[in-house]
């Protein structure tokens, strides 16, 4: 065999697997069909969306909070072309970084579409023309996902668009309709609402970010409406979207069955993502996709029913998150190398990069109730935090859920300033099976947002928060 490991796909799952594989001394190849590495995450996902979230937040603050800080600025304007250009530069820096890492780790890279000829032979339809075959003892499928397409929502990529096009608009829409109140829809909706668009989110469920702890969605909806004027049509089932040339009309049924029409300049369809397996030739090695979700079936070792063929990231079941894909990439190659790695799927944090940010790890209150588990709750609002008052970021709270008998932390749910970073402390605590009392007794620097976690832990243990 030419290679010990062949990785198909260069997203956070694939490239991290390739690097770790090379670190372990395995001869490694990585195939990517696009010209730049990094997959969805670096090219049209995590990184560009955060670049635009950061830029739009600066604009919003310049317009709405600078004056109160005593900074007078006049005629603040959006230069959307520059904003998108900077975003593209951020992408270029990041994708170039992966190219550098591939060279540094001596991973052979191939640009083209990889497909199975047999379980050890991958045929590559090279971008530069022609075909090449490479062989490997092990193959890791890391082909990711693409935006979910619904038959009654025909994405034309002009007015009815996905997250990918929404990251490169050349104008700020006056009105924007977002179908889907999940993470991607809310992040992109926030970007344009901050830049001045009137944003309406149409959501089938009765809350936004419906899979997270219920208290987070309620607070986020309240704040996004208050600070950005975003409108939310919950319990609305979208039935059609139409491109009218220079505008869009989205039709939905409300909970009583009435037809509701929402007009916009653009409509972002953000109803989830679907595993991407096109052109992989799975049929040539007898892998059938799972009925539910059309994902590649894998066992606990992330091995498909075909020995030596593994799958990781968005293309397999579980949270569709970059850091989950990365963990799985490391897990698979360490298993191949004979190590005994472990992933704790209960402790994969989920984050929404709106402002306030939302972050969560472990069980939600709804899950604890459904499991009939006895738990206690401690919450601390940012409006009681000195640091949050100083920065004028007083919306949101931290909520700690702990076992009623043992005090072990079972879930931590945060909404507020910089909680995307703060959640790491909760993950570490829970990984080491800390009790709320443990956190309550650990010194947290003052004044920091992190004190809210300690205060929530104090509240969870005998209701003894200090600043509330
Ligand atoms: P991908 O990143 O999708 O990479 C798969 C790669 O495989 C692609 O480059 C594709 O071209 C390539 N490929 C596919 N088929 C073949 C083939 N046959 N041959 C060769 N190459 C092939 N997650 C977070 O954790 N945090 C965030 O903030 C976040 N923000 C997001 C924002 C947006 C707008 C979107 C769309 C997603 C976001 N995500 C975020 C999700 C994250 O991007 C994905 O979970 C992550 O990229 C999945 O990684 P992956 O390696 O499984 O696949």
With both helix axes pointing from N to C terminus, report the angle between 46-64 and 183-194 in degrees, rounded to the nearest 10: 40
- Classify each residue of 129-163 as buried b or exposed e, where b means 16 or more C-beta atoms within 10 Å of its C-beta: eeeeebebebbbbbbbbbbbeeeebebeeebbbbb
Hey, whose CA ends up nearest to atom 15 of ligand 1? 143
**Whether residue 316 has its Cβ less than 6 Å from ligand 1:** no
pLDDT of residue 70: 97
pLDDT digits (tens, 9 = 90+) for 215-251: 999 999 999 999 999 999 999 999 999 999 999 999 9
User: What are the residues whose beta carbons fall under 8 Å from the beta carbon of 205, sequence distance 6 or more?
Assistant: 181, 234, 235
**Whether residue 154 has its Cβ less than 6 Å from ligand 1:** no
Cα distances (angstroms) measured from residue 11 to each of 4, 42, 203, 306, 315? 20, 8, 29, 23, 11
**Whether residue 328 has its Cβ less than 6 Å from ligand 1:** no
Structural domains of the chain in order of their starting residue, each with its CATH number: 2-147+274-337 (3.50.50.60), 160-271 (3.50.50.60), 356-462 (3.30.390.30)
pLDDT of residue 270: 97
Ligand 1 nearest-atom number relative to CA 166? 34
DSSP 3-state of 216: helix
Q: Is 446 a catalytic residue?
A: yes
Compute, in angstroms, the gap from residue 125 CA to the centroid of ligand 1: 21
Residue 424's DSSP bridge partners are none
Hey, whose CA ends up nearest to atom 27 of ligand 1? 46
**Whether residue 275 has its Cβ less than 6 Å from ligand 1:** no
Sequence ranges of the binding site: 50, 114, 143-145, 180-187, 203, 272, 314, 320-323
Residue 423 phi/psi, 5-degree rounding, is: -65, -25
**Whether residue 32 has its Cβ less than 6 Å from ligand 1:** yes
Number of Cβ within a 10 Å radius of residue 342? 8
Closest CA relative to residue 42, chosen from 72, 13, 11: 11
**Whether residue 349 has its Cβ less than 6 Å from ligand 1:** no
Sequence ranges of the binding site for FAD: 50, 114, 143-145, 314, 320-323
User: What are the residues whose beta carbons fall under 8 Å from the beta carbon of 160, sequence distance 6 or more?
Assistant: 153, 154, 241, 242, 243, 248, 266, 267, 269
pLDDT digits (tens, 9 = 90+) for 346-392: 999 999 999 999 999 999 999 999 999 999 999 999 999 999 999 99
Ligand 1 nearest-atom number relative to CA 321? 45
β-bridge pairing 357-362 and 375-381: unpaired
Ligand 1 nearest-atom number relative to CA 145? 3
**Whether residue 40 has its Cβ less than 6 Å from ligand 1:** yes
- 53/75 Cα distance (integer angstroms): 21
pLDDT of residue 150: 86
Compute, in angstroms, the gap from residue 276 CA to the centroid of ligand 1: 10
pLDDT of residue 241: 96
| Alpha-carbon Rg for the chain in angstroms | 23
- 128/319 Cα distance (integer angstroms): 35
Residue with tokens 């897990």: 331
Residue with tokens 């310049």: 62
Ligand 1 nearest-atom number relative to CA 188? 34
pLDDT of residue 293: 81
**Whether residue 313 has its Cβ less than 6 Å from ligand 1:** yes
Compute, in angstroms, the gap from residue 143 CA to the centroid of ligand 1: 8
Regions of the chain where pLDDT drops below 70: none
Catalytic option among 58, 60, 444, 446: 446
Hey, whose CA ends up nearest to atom 29 of ligand 1? 46
Q: Structure tokens of 237?
A: 């089932």
């Amino acid at each position: 065999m030419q290679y010990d490991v062949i990785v198909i796909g260069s997203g956070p799952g694939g490239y991290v697997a390739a690097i770790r594989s090379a670190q372990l001394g395995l001869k490694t190849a990585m195939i990517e069909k696009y010209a730049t590495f990094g997959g969805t995450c670096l090219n049209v996902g995590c990184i560009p969306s955060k670049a635009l979230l950061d830029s739009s937040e600066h604009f919003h603050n310049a317009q709405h909070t600078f004056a109160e800080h005593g900074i007078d600025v006049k005629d603040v304007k959006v230069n959307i072309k520059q904003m998108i250009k900077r975003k593209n530069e951020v992408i270029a820096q990041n994708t170039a970084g992966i190219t550098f890492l591939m060279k540094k780790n001596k991973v052979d890279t191939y640009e083209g579409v990889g497909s199975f000829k047999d379980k050890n032979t991958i045929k590559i339809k090279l971008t530069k023309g022609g075909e090449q075959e490479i062989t490997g003892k092990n193959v890791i499928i890391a082909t990711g996902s693409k935006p979910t397409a619904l038959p009654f929502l025909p994405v034309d990529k002009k007015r009815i668009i996905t997250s990918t096009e929404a990251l490169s608009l050349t104008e700020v829409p006056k009105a924007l309709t977002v179908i889907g109140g999940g993470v991607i829809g809310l992040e992109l909706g926030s970007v344009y609402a901050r830049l001045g668009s009137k944003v309406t989110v149409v959501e089938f469920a009765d809350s936004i970010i419906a899979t997270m702890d219920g208290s987070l969605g309620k607070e986020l909806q309240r704040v996004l409406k208050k600070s950005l004027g975003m409108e939310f049509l919950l319990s609305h089932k979208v039935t059609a979207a139409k491109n009218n040339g220079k505008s869009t009309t989205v039709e939905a049924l409300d909970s009583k069955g009435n037809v509701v029409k929402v007009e916009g300049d653009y409509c972002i369809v953000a109803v989830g993502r679907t595993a991407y397996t096109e052109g992989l030739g799975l049929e040539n090695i007898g892998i059938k996709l799972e009925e539910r979700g059309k994902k590649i079936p894998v066992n606990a070792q992330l091995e498909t029913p075909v020995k030596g063929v593994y799958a990781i990231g968005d293309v397999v079941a579980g949270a569709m998150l970059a850091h989950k894909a990365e963990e799985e990439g490391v897990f698979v190659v360490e298993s191949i190398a004979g190590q005994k790695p472990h992933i704790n799927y209960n402790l994969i944090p989920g984050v929404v990069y709106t402002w306030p940010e939302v972050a969560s790890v472990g069980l939600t209150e709804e899950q604890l109730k459904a499991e009939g588990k006895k738990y206690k709750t401690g919450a601390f609002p940012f409006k009681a935090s000195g640091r949050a008052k100083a920065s004028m970021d007083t919306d949101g709270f931290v909520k700690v859920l702990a076992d009623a008998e043992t005090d072990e932390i079972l879930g931590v749910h945060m909404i507020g300033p910089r909680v995307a970073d703060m959640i790491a402390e909760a993950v570490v605590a829970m990984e080491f099976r800390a009790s709320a009392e443990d956190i309550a007794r650990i010194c947290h620097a003052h004044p920091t947002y992190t004190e809210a976690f300690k205060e929530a832990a104090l509240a969870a243990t005998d209701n003894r928060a200090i600043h509330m």
